[in-house]
């Protein structure tokens, strides 16, 4: 491992115009917050054939690595494939996977995090999947933002590829088109019931549905799951995650599905793997940015993360832009304005 330098390599991926714009902004903000940091930034290019040249990322402080593989619409596999392709080119001690729309807000965060990792012998540091995504794994950094110390973890053993397997009645079943159609149909039926006259009865029944809990909670085998499977239970390697801002009592997604206050009492009796809400309280905090005197990013529909009791970062979830009733240009202007405000306040 002595061949690695102590600098940082960041890996990000873009696939369309919006993700490219968000990534360019990320590069600009990161460099403004870390003017003296030594880093390389590798970009996996997943844009389709015929993508407009003017929207391509060419230089701008990035090293672009085109992904030549055709995953035939399997977006998570294509995303992970681009990360793995970039990972094969890494020569620094620290490597970071960061979504193009995840923004770290702290001045000098590169030096702070790398020093923190070395001082505390951490092999992994980053953010978990948001607790609202109860189908994802918990308590371990995710592809959204994870820094790995390659002096303790072999680069060749890191694989971001998803498995796309979920559990049904205790057995593993690979997702296929027919299964997916059934899941979509059931989801629509549940949505109608959750907002119809049977709302209360349905939510109470769902709370007691152990089959659904076993089938859904922690079932996703998406991007970076293989890393969690390999290292999640390895206590010889240090890991740390920052807190997500999450208030299950007011969470709209879960509120449509469960009687939340009653569920909170009910889940005290259940093991973590059967709980929609994480049992480890260090995984999240209900105190959001606004309550701490910072811009209300959660109010814009973005995910907020806290480290050492102050804002760490935000996940825009660019794929959900259209669901927030804003155009791409409107949302992009809001993101830039908010990030600039954070920089001024720091």
Do 125 and 201 fall within a single domain?
no
With b for 16 or more beta-carbon neighbours within 10 A and e for fewer, the 185-196 pattern comes to eeeeeeeebbee
106-138: pLDDT as tens digits: 999 999 999 999 999 999 999 999 999 999 999
| Distance (Å) of CA 70 to CA 47, 48, 78, 306 | 11, 9, 8, 37
Residue 141: pLDDT band (50, 70, 90) is: very high
Please tell me whether residue 120 adopts helix, strand or coil conformation.
Answer: coil
Q: What is the pLDDT of residue 73?
A: 63
Question: What pLDDT score does 104 carry?
Answer: 97
Where residue 178 falls among pLDDT bands split at 50, 70, 90? very low
The first and second tokens of residue 142, run together, are 């995710």
Whole-structure pTM value: 0.86
Residue 227: per-residue pLDDT: 95
Statement to judge: residues 171 and 229 lie in one domain:
no
Q: What is the pLDDT of residues 64-83, one digit of tens each?
A: 999 987 776 677 888 999 99
pLDDT per position as a tens digit, 269-305:
999 999 999 999 899 999 999 999 999 999 888 999 9
Q: Taking the alpha carbons of 328, 329, 332, 334 in that order, is the dihedral positive or negative?
A: negative
Same-domain pairing of 275 and 184: yes
First to last CA, the chain: 36
Rounded to whole angstroms, how far apart are CA atoms 98 and 46? 15
- In this prediction, residue 112 carries a pLDDT of 95
- Residue 263 and residue 239 in one domain: no
Domain end (from 279, 301, 327) = 279
User: Is the same domain home to 233 and 307?
Assistant: yes
Residues 255 and 324 in one domain: no
CA triple 315-52-145, angle to 5 deg = 20
Question: Domain range spanning residue 37?
Answer: 5-164+223-246+286-345
Which of 234, 256, 279 terminates a domain? The answer is: 279
Q: How much of the chain exceeds pLDDT 70, in percent?
A: 84
Looking at the fold, whether 190 and 297 belong to one and the same domain comes out as no
158 and 268 belong to one structural domain: no
For position 310, which CATH number holds?
Answer: 3.90.550
Q: Which of 244, 18, 295, 232 is CA-nearest to residue 134?
A: 244
**For the chain, what is the domain count?**
2
| Residue at a domain's end among 279, 299, 320 | 279
Q: What is the chain's mean pLDDT, rounded?
A: 86
Residue 2 confidence (pLDDT) above 80: no
Measured distance CA(265)–CA(249) in Å, rounded: 12
Token pair 């209300």 is at which residue? 296
Tell me what the mean pLDDT of segment 293-318 comes to.
93
* 150 and 169 inside one domain: no
- The answer on 272 and 313 residing in a single domain is no
Q: Which two tokens stand for residue 260?
A: 């939340």
Q: What is the mean pLDDT of residues 227-236?
A: 90
The predicted structure's pLDDT at residue 245: 96
pLDDT in tens, 209-226: 999 999 999 999 989 999
Residues 333 and 255 occupy one common structural domain: no
Whether residue 189 is found in the same domain as residue 319: no
């Amino acid at each position: 491992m002595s061949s690695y330098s102590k600098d940082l390599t960041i890996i990000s991926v873009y696939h369309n115009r919006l993700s490219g714009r968000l990534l360019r902004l990320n590069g600009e903000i990161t460099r403004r917050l870390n003017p003296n940091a030594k880093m390389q930034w590798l970009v996996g290019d997943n844009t389709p054939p015929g993508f407009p040249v003017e929207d391509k990322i060419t230089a701008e402080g990035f090293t672009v690595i085109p992904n030549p593989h055709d995953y035939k619409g399997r977006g998570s596999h294509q995303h992970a494939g681009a990360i793995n392709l970039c990972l094969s080119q890494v020569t620094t001690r620290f490597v970071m996977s960061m979504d193009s729309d995840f923004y770290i807000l702290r001045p000098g965060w590169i030096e702070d995090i790398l020093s923190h990792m070395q001082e505390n012998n951490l092999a992994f540091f980053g953010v978990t999947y948001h607790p609202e995504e109860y189908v994802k794994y918990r308590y371990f950094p995710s592809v959204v933002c994870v820094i790995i110390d390659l002096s303790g973890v072999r680069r060749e053993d890191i694989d971001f590829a998803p498995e796309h397997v979920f559990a049904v009645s205790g057995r593993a079943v690979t997702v296929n088109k027919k299964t997916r159609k059934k899941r979509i149909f059931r989801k629509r039926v549940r949505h109608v019931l959750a907002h119809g006259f049977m709302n209360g009865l349905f939510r109470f029944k769902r709370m007691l549905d152990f089959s659904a809990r076993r089938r859904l909670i922690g079932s996703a085998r998406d991007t970076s799951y293989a890393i969690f499977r390999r290292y999640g239970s390895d206590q010889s390697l240090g890991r740390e995650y920052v807190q997500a801002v999450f208030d299950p009592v007011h969470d709209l997604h879960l509120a449509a599905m469960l009687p939340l206050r009653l569920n909170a009492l009910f889940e005290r009796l259940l093991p973590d793997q059967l709980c929609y809400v994480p049992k480890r309280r260090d995984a999240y905090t209900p105190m959001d940015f606004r309550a701490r005197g910072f811009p209300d990013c959660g109010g814009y529909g973005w995910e907020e993360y806290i480290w050492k009791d102050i804002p760490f970062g935000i996940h825009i979830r660019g794929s959900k832009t259209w669901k927030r009733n804003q155009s791409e240009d409107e949302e992009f202007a809001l993101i830039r304005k908010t990030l600039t405000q954070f920089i001024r306040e720091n």
